[in-house]
Every structure is written in structure tokens, then in C-alpha cells.
């Protein structure tokens, strides 16, 4: 899979650890910043990262900041994005299996690096399949289009 990844200055080290794990597991990525010592408004990084997902350049996105919350809120403003804050195994799993999530958000001040990498492995290993949740995901898309007018 090709992943679009971005962070703010609070999560630079976690982003680098995630990139390393992606490489180790055979995935590629596009790094949308920030770089070491840089500062950026996280909404700008989130939108840039998500645009690569919605354009089809990347399969999924990963956003990391202090809590993951601001990144998720911003990401979900981009039409076609279904971002979820993933801080535990069950929610991480359900973000894909129940909600066809395409952007994972984590907080570097909330999850330890080892847990973040474990959650990443879970998330990367899952795929949404048609089933009981399909109609619900379609309804999310319906409302997204209704409110994007």
C-alpha cells in the first residue's frame, strides 16, 4: 500500500517511527511534513495529506499530532475522507471493518510509540468488505454529499 503521512511538530518522532515500520513491512509513503525543527499549522498538513488519498495518489493516510483529534477533525472536512482517532486495538480495527476508514489519526502525547506501531500493524492488515456495515458507510457518503453542496 502507498500511504500519505503527515504530522505537526508534536509528533515528528512518531511519524519517523511509523515511516520506518511502513518500510519494514513493504509499504511506501509520501511524507507531507513536517520535518525536524519545523512548525506548521496542523490543518494545512492534514488537508495536504488527505488530498493525496482522495486523488488516488495514495491508498490511505496517517496523521499524527499531539492528540490526533485536531487532525481527525480537519481530515473529515475533506470530501471522501473517513478519518478516525485510533488509540486502542478495538477502535482501530472497527475504523476499517465497520467504517471503511481511509485515514488513521493518532496522538503522540496519548499513545506510546510501541502501541502506535502495534495499532499501525492492525490497521494496515485490515480491509473493508461488503457486509452489514456497507449500507452505513454508503449513508455517510450520502450525507457528506448533501452537506458539501
pLDDT digits (tens, 9 = 90+) for 36-80: 999 999 999 999 999 999 999 999 999 999 999 999 999 999 999
pTM value surpassing 0.85: yes
How far is Cα 57 from Cα 59, in angstroms, rounded to an integer?
7
H or E element that contains 74? helix 69-75
The string of DSSP codes covering 83-143 is EEE--SHHHHHHHHHTT---EEEEETTTS-HHHHHHHHHHHHT----SSTTHHHHHHHHHH
For the domain 2-147, what is the CATH superfamily, name and number?
Answer: Sugar-phosphate isomerase, RpiB/LacA/LacB (3.40.1400.10)
Residue of 7, 65, 86, 105 with catalytic role? 65
pLDDT at residue 148 is higher than 90? no
The answer to whether residue 6 scores a pLDDT higher than 90 is yes
Q: What is the largest CA-CA distance in the chain?
A: 46
Instruction: Count CB-CB contacts under 10 A for residue 136.
Output: 11
Domain boundaries, the chain: 2-147
The 10s digit of each residue's pLDDT in 72-117 is 999 999 999 999 999 999 999 999 999 999 999 999 999 999 999 9
Active site residue 65: yes
Amino acid at each position: 500500500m502507498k500511504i500519505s503521512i503527515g504530522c505537526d511538530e508534536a509528533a515528528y518522532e512518531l511519524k519517523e517511527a511509523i515511516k520506518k515500520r511502513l518500510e519494514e513491512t513493504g509499504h511506501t509513503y509520501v511524507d507531507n511534513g513536517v520535518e525536524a525543527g519545523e512548525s506548521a499549522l496542523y490543518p494545512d498538513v492534514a488537508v495536504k495529506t488527505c488530498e493525496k488519498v482522495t486523488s488516488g495518489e495514495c491508498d490511505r493516510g496517517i496523521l499524527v499530532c499531539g492528540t490526533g483529534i485536531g487532525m481527525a477533525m480537519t481530515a473529515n472536512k475533506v470530501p471522501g475522507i473517513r478519518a478516525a482517532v485510533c488509540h486502542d486495538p478495538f477502535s482501530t480495527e472497527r475504523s476499517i471493518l465497520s467504517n471503511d476508514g481511509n485515514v488513521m489519526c493518532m496522538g503522540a502525547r496519548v499513545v506510546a510509540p510501541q502501541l502506535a506501531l502495534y495499532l499501525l500493524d492492525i490497521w494496515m492488515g485490515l480491509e473493508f468488505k461488503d457486509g452489514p456495515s456497507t449500507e452505513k458507510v454508503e449513508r455517510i457518503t450520502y450525507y457528506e454529499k448533501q452537506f458539501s453542496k
